[in-house]
Amino acid sequence: MEYAIIFLPLISSFISGFFGKKLGDKYCQIFACLLVLISGILSLFIFYEVLTQDYSSNKLIFNWISSGDFHVNWSIVVDPLTSVMLVVVSLISSIIHFYSIGYMSHDPHKTRFMAYLSLFTFAMLTLVTADNFLQLFFGWEGVGLCSYLLIGFWYKKPSANSAAIKAFVVNRVGDFGFAIGIFLIFFFYGTVNYHEVFQQTPLFIQKQVIFLGIEVNLITLICLLLFLGAMGKSAQIFLHTWLPDAMEGPTPVSALIHAATMVTAGVFLVVKCSPLFEYSQIALNVVATVGMMTAFFAATVALVQNDIKKIVAYSTCSQLGYMFFAAGVGAYHVAIFHLFTHAFFKALLFLGSGCVIHSFDDEQDIRSMGGVWKKIPYTYTLMVIGTLALTGFPFLSGYYSKDAIIEFAYLKGSNIGYYAAAVGIFTALLTAIYSWRLVFKTFHGKYNNKKNSLNSIHESSSTMLIPSCLLAVGAIVTGILFKEIFIGQDTQFWNNSILFLYQNHHDHVPIWLLVITPLIVILAIPIAYYLFVKNEKILKNLILKHQTLYNFLINKWYFDDLYNFIFVEPIKKIGLFFWKEGDVNIIDRYGPDGLSKLVKTVSDKAVNFQSGYLYHYAFVMLIGFSILLTYLILY
């Protein structure tokens, strides 16, 4: 069963990529969807067995590396943490595969798209089922490659190419730190297998090493380097700039990246390495701080964005911040619980946004929408459900997982925990405002689209709406169904897959803490409706009064401009200098171009001797004989 879960998406990718044209678009899409769906159903079986029978396994595929005492296998590990990730990845991916049939119906390259999508799923499944850091790194780079291929899928658009390259380069920064972390683990531990590394970790608690001239604790250094990789993949602040640009890819790609695959890899890594992070309070504090900063930063930027997909993208960035500061305060299981619920409502929001874009004939600016909730009621309902779940409206999935993060942070009882809880509450307010801004601007108010008439607005096909409805069910029920299983006080679900050195007992939560976030979320709805539909002048006046702040937010805190100034432009200038002065004026001039010019000049001169006159040939022969005679006499 485990082998099928992993390799069915790979088979799907192989067949779609190499035999797609022979099969035809229709059969290729159906075949790809069925294979990934089978993988998703089998993942549910595995999850059920883990839940009811404490099932675990380590299936060997083959011996990968064997050199002296160093052995690395290619294996499929199933434990509680992996079983949750298998459900998230394969189930969400299968739904997105089916949605893609409708969304990509007018695209001429459907088979290539399906091949990339299935390969993306395989790479993520490889990542989460690894039993060692090397196999993890293979899957890690695999999702990076697939994200590059999918973000730049419409490669004829310069913006898509730029976005793909940006995602690839920014992730290389994080991956460089990740790779160094793995090297350090191998150097000091002599192995990269999880079990052996985690078993030895308590022996290195006091180990100090010199890194870049600074003495630092070994475990802290390894954790920080691993977290640097997580920051790149999960788009945390400073390495987040690729994420909004990734919206250049087709909408199903955005849903898969943001809900089930790439960006969840960083959270999974930190939770998987809890047996390392638990022995470094400094590393945990860094994780919590970066998470808090990201949650707040992304929420503020989402407030003013106008591209429907970018608003949802910054929302992902913000929610990932929640997950990281949950892990940073030691509530790893709550981080995974939020990752689990988030996968459903975030995929729903992206697929719902895709339906909106489809209805408006590829329009993505929410300022050019409005007043269509009666024209596309199914899409509207789906988007409202996704928004309610995202904002943490009572009794939907986000309510249980997001509130749990804030409560666990507060119950940590440390300064970092109190700060995290405060940031979480304030960010929840911002989340509610920008989420309802998206809904009200898109579906309510006046119809503002000049390109399409109101009568042309239509519902999406059933192949797009049915998968979205399945996600809506998940967005409603996953929180209430799995709360006790994942984060209940007496839960035994996680067993040894997560290490808790210091357990937080989820009791004595103040009433005000239980009430404040849901109250904010509920009150934000009428306030947002008034500001974004009934009386928009208030916001226009606010923007005029605080133009500097508005520009700061609309320009995404000027991170892109800063990076362009510090890195991109100087590197461009250095590259142009070496290209023109070094390559063209020196290497080419005196190398191949110079030699070819010399040969041409000599040959042009030599042609003059081919005159047809006998005395010219005799003269050349005489010169040649003289040179030969001189050489023989001298040497």
Q: Is 489:506 a contact under the CB 8 Å cutoff?
A: yes
Mean pLDDT throughout 314-332?
94
φ, ψ of residue 59 in degrees (nearest 5): -90, 120
Model pLDDT for residues 188-232, shown as the tens digit of each residue: 999 999 999 999 999 999 899 998 888 999 999 999 999 999 999
Alpha helices in 234-376 (DSSP H): 242-245, 251-259, 262-272, 274-277, 281-302, 308-328, 332-359
Please choose, from the candidates 192, 39, 194, the residue with its C-alpha nearest in 3D space to the C-alpha of residue 117.
Answer: 39
> pLDDT category, 503, cuts 50, 70, 90?
low
Residues 6+ apart with CB under 8 A from 333: 486, 487, 491, 494, 498
Q: Is 85:268 a contact under the CB 8 Å cutoff?
A: yes
Please choose, from the candidates 506, 507, 487, the residue with its C-alpha nearest in 3D space to the C-alpha of residue 498.
Answer: 487
The residue type of 152 is G
CA–CA gap between residue 62 and residue 364 (Å, rounded) = 47
Q: Is 483:125 a contact under the CB 8 Å cutoff?
A: no
Residue 506: per-residue pLDDT: 54
Residue 504: per-residue pLDDT: 57
CA–CA gap between residue 284 and residue 336 (Å, rounded) = 16
Single pTM value for the model: 0.91
- Complete DSSP assignment for 266-288: HHHHHHHTHHHHTT-HHHHHHHH
Alpha helices in 54-132 (DSSP H): 80-86, 92-103, 110-128
Q: Which range (105-109, 159-163, 302-306, 611-615) has the least confidence?
A: 611-615
Residue 382's beta-bridge partner residues? none
Does the pLDDT at position 617 exceed 90?
A: no
Model pLDDT for residues 96-110, shown as the tens digit of each residue: 999 999 988 888 888
Please choose, from the candidates 621, 96, 82, 65, the residue with its C-alpha nearest in 3D space to the C-alpha of residue 343.
Answer: 96
Residues 6+ apart with CB under 8 A from 331: 404, 405, 408, 409, 412, 487, 504
Q: Is 493:483 a contact under the CB 8 Å cutoff?
A: no
Distance between start and end Cα atoms, the chain: 81
- DSSP designation for 368: G
Mean pLDDT throughout 20-49?
92
Strands 57-67, 214-217: pairing is unpaired
Residues 6+ apart with CB under 8 A from 5: 39, 42, 43, 46, 76, 86, 90, 125
Tokens of 504: 């937080």
Please choose, from the candidates 272, 277, 296, the residue with its C-alpha nearest in 3D space to the C-alpha of residue 287.
Answer: 277
Q: Is 625:632 a contact under the CB 8 Å cutoff?
A: no
Burial 319-344 (b: 16+ CB within 10 A, else e): bbbbbbbbbbbbbbbbbbbbbbbbbb
Q: Is 520:513 a contact under the CB 8 Å cutoff?
A: no
Alpha carbons within 13 A on the beta-carbon side of 319? 34
CA–CA gap between residue 252 and residue 409 (Å, rounded) = 34
Tokens of 100: 């893609």
Q: How many residues does the chain have?
A: 635
- DSSP designation for 533: I
- Complete DSSP assignment for 186-227: HHHHS--BHHHHHHHGGGGTT-EEEETTEEEEHHHHHHHHHH
CA–CA gap between residue 80 and residue 49 (Å, rounded) = 10
User: Between 110-128 and 25-53, two packed helices, what is the crossing angle to 10 degrees?
Assistant: 20
Model pLDDT for residues 117-157, shown as the tens digit of each residue: 999 999 999 999 999 999 999 999 999 999 999 999 988 88
Mean pLDDT throughout 388-409?
93
CA–CA gap between residue 410 and residue 365 (Å, rounded) = 38
φ, ψ of residue 96 in degrees (nearest 5): -70, -35
CA–CA gap between residue 64 and residue 413 (Å, rounded) = 45
Alpha carbons within 13 A on the beta-carbon side of 592? 3
- Complete DSSP assignment for 470-500: HHHHHHHHHHHHHHHHHH-TT--TTTTSS--
Residue with tokens 């995602």: 167
Average pLDDT, the chain: 91
Percent of the chain at pLDDT exceeding 90: 65
CA–CA gap between residue 250 and residue 153 (Å, rounded) = 8
Q: Is 279:502 a contact under the CB 8 Å cutoff?
A: no
Q: Is 204:218 a contact under the CB 8 Å cutoff?
A: yes
Model pLDDT for residues 431-482, shown as the tens digit of each residue: 999 999 999 999 998 888 888 888 888 898 898 999 999 999 999 999 999 9
Please choose, from the candidates 608, 560, 518, 609, the residue with its C-alpha nearest in 3D space to the C-alpha of residue 170.
Answer: 560
Does the pLDDT at position 612 exceed 70?
A: yes
Q: Is 308:442 a contact under the CB 8 Å cutoff?
A: yes
Neighbouring C-beta atoms of residue 581, cutoff 10 Å: 11
Does the pLDDT at position 334 exceed 60?
A: yes
Does the pLDDT at position 349 exceed 60?
A: yes
Residue 505: per-residue pLDDT: 52
Residue 322: per-residue pLDDT: 95
The residue type of 264 is T
Q: Is 433:526 a contact under the CB 8 Å cutoff?
A: no
Mean pLDDT throughout 615-627?
84
Residue 421: per-residue pLDDT: 94
Mean pLDDT throughout 357-381?
90
Q: Is 144:261 a contact under the CB 8 Å cutoff?
A: no
